[in-house]
Amino acid sequence: MKINKILIANRGEIACRIIQTCQKLGIETVAIYANIERNSRHVQLANEAFCIHSETPTSAYLDIQSIIDIAKKSNADAIHPGYGFLSERAEFAQAIEVAGLIFIGAPIEALKLMGSKAAAKASMLAAGVPCVPGYHGDNQDVDFLQTEANKIGYPLLIKASSGGGGKGMKIVTIADDFIDALNSAKREALKSFGNDHVILERFITKPKHIEVQVFADSHDNVVHLFERDCSTQRRYQKIIEEAPATCISDITKQSMYKAAISAAKAVNYRGAGTIEFIVEDDEFFFMEMNTRLQVEHRVTEMITNTDLVEWQIIVAEGNELPLKQSQIQCNGHAIQVRIYAEDSFNDFLPSTGLLEQVEFPQQDNIIVDTGIQKSDSICIHFDPMIAKIVCWQETSDKCVEKTLQSMDDTFISGVKTNLPFLSEIMSLDVFSDNQIYTNSLDNGTISVAVPEIDNQIISNLAHKLYFQETNSIWQQTNHWSNSGDYFNHFKWLYHGENIVINAKFRDDSVILDDGSEEQVLENTKLYKSNKQILLIHNHHRYIFDIINHEADSHIHSNNNIVSPMPGKILQIKVSEGDKVTKDQTLIIMEAMKMELTLKANSEGNVEKVSVKENDIVSAGTVLIELV
């Protein structure tokens, strides 16, 4: 059946990305949106758009009946689920089929089977695909799971049986911590996937995450499109992906391709899928199968010169795959970085707010997938990913440099982002040497710190700002002063620290008030917004806050426990009058699909608890007062 119109049951960058392919193919698109997103980019790009009124913005994208009703109302032929939300829900695919529409995704039976990590492991073992030792059964009794955990040994990984993205995943290093970790994993799993079933697995101490892209049609054709290395992760969330992998041998790759094809055939698969393996010392184990398009599919497209969304549509129409295995070639190297709205140097807390400025690179061999634009808001209701930057070059080394340069050409203000963190990681030798494992950024093996500043950096920032002020009287007089000692005064905040400089300027140097002189650096870039100044040098991003003197004069008590962002109070661990110790957990809250643990900064007594469990709080709300 020829598909002429597609409803996209998703939002943000994935909806925009699908619309791009549909426009190329001459297919009309229908967008859905929550009320707060009526001006969003994916709504503007689609041919038609319909609002789904719901209790929360997130639930709009989970309303199966409303989505199907809109598809029928708009005369859509098919529904594309994107990734996340309903993309791997068998009941969604079933409802679409019953409605007489085409589901652009995996077969219903495969969705059901792979929707359970436990069932998936059992089917893979039956197909001869190697799996990590562990417990994948149905018994969820706490004492029984503790016994199984003790049999497997520690360190141990608890994983939600449904879903992914690191939700409901906990590492347990000793038996005494198992129960607390299990309860937390089950809470997260229930909130994220509506199912608190977990499995237990041996924890690989130096794991590499390598996944193979597979594609199948309804004519018994199954191919792979090589592999991706997704080992650079933080809290089980991939942040940098590259293809092909350079950390494993060709012999291992061939074995993985064979296992991936066997896995797809074992479940009579159709469409785009990803077989994820965990690898240690060239030994690999099946982790899970993602029965959808992956966030990182762009790196595969760049090395194979394909459009996987187009392939999805072709297969959904009942056609054969566009290429045979022998026709799929791997060319060059591609890297993707995920830009998140989060404070990487403050426990990765998500950041919310209005986007004041948004600048992305515009060059050959670079793709920017984003659903945001200037004046959009990053809110608490959705995943905090802002954009993906994907770069291609002939070799891995050249691709690393190209990606670093692309981040240098990116400026986002109004919210904090992980761009400084990404640049620092990719500048490390351990990244190029394949010494980053999936747990390296969480277990302290690799530490990424705030870039250090010195007089040279501060002087160059002042120099660039000074020469940008075209109306400066001192520039009009060629920087001459009759006293000979006029100094310009600058004051900023750098990660909470006051930075003060007094300097006078020449075209190629800066003279400080202590008599020292700093030379002007080459290859620096400056970006400025109303609240922030960004200086980039050697791929290091130095972000200075412009001081708001009114806000600067407001002093917060160090003893107060303050909400770092908008969210929901899940648990309050203390009562008024309790004595607490430094680093004791006082409150657990939920924000942007994450559990945040708020701890005491010092010893003290609980004077006041200002919130209750299930309260919704805004950023900066005082939750507990300590004395």
Would you state the structure tokens that stand for residue 459, as one six-digit string? 């002087």
Would you state the structure tokens that stand for residue 192, as one six-digit string? 């994220």
**Phi then psi dihedrals of residue 85, to 5 deg:** 50, -115
Packing angle of the helix pair 396-408, 419-427 (nearest 10 deg) = 150
Residue 139 to residue 131: CA distance in whole angstroms: 20
* Chain centroid offset of residue 121 CA: 26
* Chain centroid offset of residue 101 CA: 32
Q: Is the CB of residue 112 less than 8 Å from the CB of residue 162? A: no
**Phi then psi dihedrals of residue 361, to 5 deg:** -70, 145
Spatial neighbors of 508 by CB under 8 A, at least 6 apart, are 519, 520
Q: What is the 3-state secondary structure (H, E, C) of 561-619?
A: EECCCCEEEEEECCCCCCEECCCCEEEEEEECCEEEEEECCCCEEEEEECCCCCCEECC
Q: Tokens 């068998």 belong to which residue?
A: 90
Residue 76 to residue 68: CA distance in whole angstroms: 9
Residue 527 to residue 544: CA distance in whole angstroms: 11
The SS3 assignment for 180 reads helix
Q: Is the CB of residue 19 less than 8 Å from the CB of residue 391? A: no
Exposed, middle or buried, 120 (CB in 10 Å: 0-12/13-18/19+)?
A: buried
Residue 422 to residue 367: CA distance in whole angstroms: 17
Residue 223 to residue 261: CA distance in whole angstroms: 7
Residue 380's nearest CA partner among 564, 545, 560, 561 is 564
Residues in a beta bridge with 43: none
The SS3 assignment for 424 reads helix
Residue 19's nearest CA partner among 386, 269, 33, 625 is 33
Exposed, middle or buried, 357 (CB in 10 Å: 0-12/13-18/19+)?
A: middle
Q: Is the CB of residue 217 less than 8 Å from the CB of residue 321? A: yes
Q: What dihedral angle (degrees, nearest 10) is formed by the CA atoms of 347, 350, 356, 362?
A: 90
CA angle 329, 319, 128 (to 5 degrees): 60
Q: What is the 3-state secondary structure (H, E, C) of 112-155?
A: HHHCCHHHHHHHHHHCCCCECCEECCCCCCHHHHHHHHHHHCCC
Residue 114 to residue 110: CA distance in whole angstroms: 6
Q: Which residues are catalytic?
A: 292
Provide the sign of the torsion angle of the four alpha carbons 596, 601, 605, 611, taken in this order: negative
**Phi then psi dihedrals of residue 422, to 5 deg:** -60, -45
